[in-house]
Every structure is written in structure tokens, then in C-alpha cells.
Chains A and B, each alone.
Chain A
């Protein structure tokens, strides 16, 4: 099909590892921040177990504001913060900062949606048994929403792979960057096809794993 030179192959390998690095670290951080924020968006809403109207409003506003900034602009916007955390605003590691910040609010909304699917009656039953709010979150909300949460993580990873392509803009490298620089700007169609196929296969695989896990834990 394609005949990639040894040089091209090694570029592809490096780019794959860069993407893997960015996506893996960002996914971890995004889950660490996004799941708690998603939980907060649910439990602080009016009528829920830890109702806090002002907090709910503030969180909602911040999430919406963050989500409304286009990602390339967002990267530039957070450069000072990136520099502060990573020490530089260029490279794969530097990309992780804007990527995480943009992704975790996105994920928080997905988590929120998944948790809202949990029947209010079940939560109420737990309250009636004298369960504390923490127990309700850990033992009722999260386990009951597990299929939805797996979906949320899957969607987040897939989105991160595609967003990480924009990392090229600040020298982050990765597969998307490779495709743009060699495939688009230097007309090396082979390498463009190879990266696209690699990405398509990866995303398909991830989605299939996500779907299978969702099915496995779906008890409705």
C-alpha cells in the first residue's frame, strides 16, 4: 500500500509516541479534575444532596466561559500559566496545560450528564437510609452512572487525540502535527495517509473498547 522510507517510519514512530504522551497525561489529569467538577455540578444544583446555589452558578459560568473560547486562542490565552507551571510554553509537555484546562471542563459536562441520569428516587432511597452525602456520591451516584462515565472518558480521549493535533502550533509535535507539516505543507501524501489511518484505527479501537465496557456495566 504505502512505502514509507525508514526516515518517514521513524518520524511516524516519534510522532505516535508524542501523541501517546500528550493524550495519556492529559487524560489522567482531565479525569482527576473533570470528574470531581462534574460531581460538583450535579450535587450543588438546586434540590440535590449538597445544594449550594451560588457555587453551582459560579461553576456553571466558568465552565461555559472556558468552553466558549476556541482552542487555538485558548492555547495562546493560557501561555503565562503554562510558562508558570511547566517553565516553558513550547513542546509536548507545555501542550498538556491548555489541553487539560480545555478538556476537563468539557469532561465535567459529560460527567454531569451521566450523573444526572441516575434516578432521583434511588438517591432519595439512600438518603432515607441515612447515607451521608459522601457515601451517596461514592456508593450510589458513581456506580450507578458507571456506563455513562465510561462513555464520558471515551469521548474525552477521542476528543483529546484530535485536539492534540493542534499542539503543533506550539511545537508540541504528535501525529496531527506531522500530518500537517509533511502531508499538507510539504505534499508528502504518504505520510499524511499513514497518520490519518493510524488515527482512525486508534479512535475506532478506543471507541470499541469504550462501548464494550459500557455494555458490560449496563444493568438497566
Chain B
């Protein structure tokens, strides 16, 4: 993260409605997002993620607090200034929001028309953009003729048309299947790198955060409950919500436990971040403490570019040895969870 954040919110609040029927959706959000990072916001449904990202380009007017983007307070902009400021931020949506009456080409051309470019320039730029997202051959297709993934690619091309510094993604992959999701996330990561974008991405899926984000903020009931580099938050979740999200990823392959496996000792789940993944943790554990360790499951994943391993072991041996072993693991920055 660079010295001065590109996007900053200070005590941002948003309340919908008035009086008794009012709902306080954002309850004081403080964020600082650096230029060139992919920043994720994760939270369960209805916690205010969309409201937060929509405040950033003022699709939603904040109730109180400040939003500073690139050194400028966007809460005090006039209508006209706001329209200009919005051209510097691209946005993509869960439901793509393409114009059904326009072809892929003309959808991408729309923001360029808004910016007042000439026909020739538009044509050239749209070609480049469709090339960038790998859809040159579908230029003349209408949205209904495109798959979900292709629609989102058009959405990305459209969002990048006016060369924005910032890309806002509101659940951009939530309507897509896992494979397509990965493809779209890779595209976002690619363009982020090649264009030096700052990406703010909101999602209810930790998987998305883990795949491309540098830092993450976990939201609950209108507040940020946890924030930091994804690897750290993931390896050492503090709040119950975050733990829930991490669990959801780790547990996804542990069904066989429910099918009546009888452990000889106790079941531990180890989480190893970084280079530790390639060290013989389990072997050392068994050897040094004279324990019997049965590996039930092992899995190496990546959090963006950092390897992340989880091992499920059935550990049999005297209790004192096991507690010593546990301390040793913690000293090696291995997270231990006794099931």
C-alpha cells in the first residue's frame, strides 16, 4: 500500500428511511484502500456491502462521514462534478446490467459516447477493449445471445472504457458457475496488473477473496469487524463471522467425518501458510513427540500467490505429549484446531 490511500472513507454511515422505520445500514466505516491493490469486502447477505460500494461512486448518498477518492472529497461534489468523477471509476454488477437493445460492441461504446468521444475513436477503443476481454468475435452479439461469463466480460470492457483508475465490483461473479467465476476473476486480476487498477470487490464468498484479493475487510451488521492482508485474516481469523467464512472453505471436503469415521486419538486440523507448506510438519510432529499421526486429508491451496495448506490428522498418544506438540506447532505458525 502506498503512503496516501487512493480511496478513504471516514466514519461513513448510511441510514435508509426516516423515523421509526429507518434502518441503519452502515454504522461508521473507516477504510483506506491503497492505489494498485485488490481490496475485498466480504460479509453475509444484507450486512451492507452493496450499500458501501455504491457510496463510493455516490449511487447512494451517505448519511454522514467522508469519502475521499484520489485526494478529493466526493461527498461534496456537485451533480456535474460527480458525473465527471464517476467516469474515473468503472463498475461491474452481479446481474451485468448490459443494455439489452445494444450489441456487445455498442454496450462498450456507451461510456465512450457519454464521455463525448468521436465515432472513429470509439470504434478503435471498443475494438481494443473487446480484444482485451477476449470477445472480439462476439462484437455483434446481443446480450441475450451471450453466456453469463461473456456478459460479464462485456461488463468489464465497458467498465474499463474510459480508462478509470478504480474498478468497483459488486458481486461480479455471484451469478456465475465456479469455473466461469475463476475465468472472470483471472481477467480482473490480469487487467488490474496490466492497467495498474485499484479494485474494490465485494462478495459473500470467501473463495473469491482468497483467489484474487490482497487485503480483505470482513463486514457484519454495517461495521467492519476485521481487516488485513488476506493471508493473515485467513490463517488467523478473530471474529466469529470471519471464522465462519474460513470454516466454509476448509470444511468443504470433510464430509467423510460425518459418515462414521472412528478416530483413534483426537482430530486436529492444521492450517499452514506460506513456505511451511513444503516442510514436513506432520512427520516432524510424529517423530519429535512420539505420536501416531494418521493423515486423513491434506490439501494445498493458494491465497492469491501464497500457498496455503490444510491437513486433517488423527493424532493418537498421551495427552501431555499432544499438548506439547500443539505448542510446538503454534511456535511454527501452524494454526491448530481441535475438532
Please report A residues at the B interface, Cβ cutoff 8 Å.
119, 121-122, 124-132, 135, 139-140, 143-144, 146, 217, 219-220
Contact = CB atoms under 8 A, between A and B. Distances in A.
14 contacts: A121-B97, A122-B97, A124-B93, A125-B93, A128-B89, A128-B168, A129-B91, A129-B162, A131-B83, A132-B83, A143-B99, A146-B101, A217-B101, A220-B100
B145 to A, nearest CB: 9
B134 to A, nearest CB: 21
B332 to A, nearest CB: 47
Nearest to A136: B114
Contacts of A139: 110, 113
Interface string B44-88: 000000000000010100000000000000000000001111110
Contact of B114 (A135, A144, A217): A135
B100 A219 contact: yes
Candidate in A121, A130, A140 with the most chain B CB atoms within 10 angstroms: A130
B143 interface: yes
Candidate in A131, A140, A217 with the most chain B CB atoms within 10 angstroms: A131
B102 A130 contact: no
Given A119-B95, A128-B91, 15 more contacts: A119-B97, A125-B93, A125-B97, A127-B59, A128-B59, A129-B111, A130-B85, A130-B87, A130-B115, A131-B83, A139-B110, A143-B101, A219-B100, A219-B101, A219-B144
B97 A129 contact: no
Contact of B57 (A119, A128, A132): A128
B254 to A, nearest CB: 38
Contacts of A146: 101
A121 B54 CA distance: 12
A130 B114 contact: yes
B136 to A, nearest CB: 21
B100 A124 contact: no
B289 interface: no
A119 B144 CA distance: 14
B98 interface: yes
A2 B100 CA distance: 50
A124 B101 contact: no
A20 B70 CA distance: 62
Contacts of A140: 99
Interface residues of B, number: 29
B99 A124 contact: no
Interface of B: 57, 59, 82-87, 89, 91, 93, 95, 97-102, 110-111, 113-115, 142-144, 158, 162, 168
A144 B144 contact: no
A129 to B, nearest CB: 4
Contact of A121 (B57, B93, B110, B168): B93
Contacts of B162: 129
Candidate in B82, B89, B100 with the most chain A CB atoms within 10 angstroms: B100
Q: Which 5 A-B pairs have the closest CB atoms?
A: A130-B86, A125-B97, A121-B97, A130-B83, A129-B111
B77 to A, nearest CB: 11
Contacts of A130: 82-87, 111, 114-115
Contacts of A127: 59, 86
A177 to B, nearest CB: 41
B143 to A, nearest CB: 7
A52 to B, nearest CB: 14
Nearest to B100: A219
A121 B92 CA distance: 11
A144 B100 CA distance: 7
Contact of A144 (B82, B99, B115): B99
B99 A122 contact: yes
A127 B91 CA distance: 10
A127 B93 CA distance: 13
A132 B110 CA distance: 12
Contacts of B168: 128
A127 B86 CA distance: 8
Contacts of B85: 130
Given A139-B110, A219-B144, A129 B99 contact: no
Nearest to B110: A129
Contacts of A124: 59, 93, 97
Contact of B101 (A121, A135, A144): A144
A146 B114 CA distance: 21
A146 B86 CA distance: 28
B86 A128 contact: yes
B148 to A, nearest CB: 14
A126 to B, nearest CB: 7
A127 to B, nearest CB: 6
Contacts of B82: 130
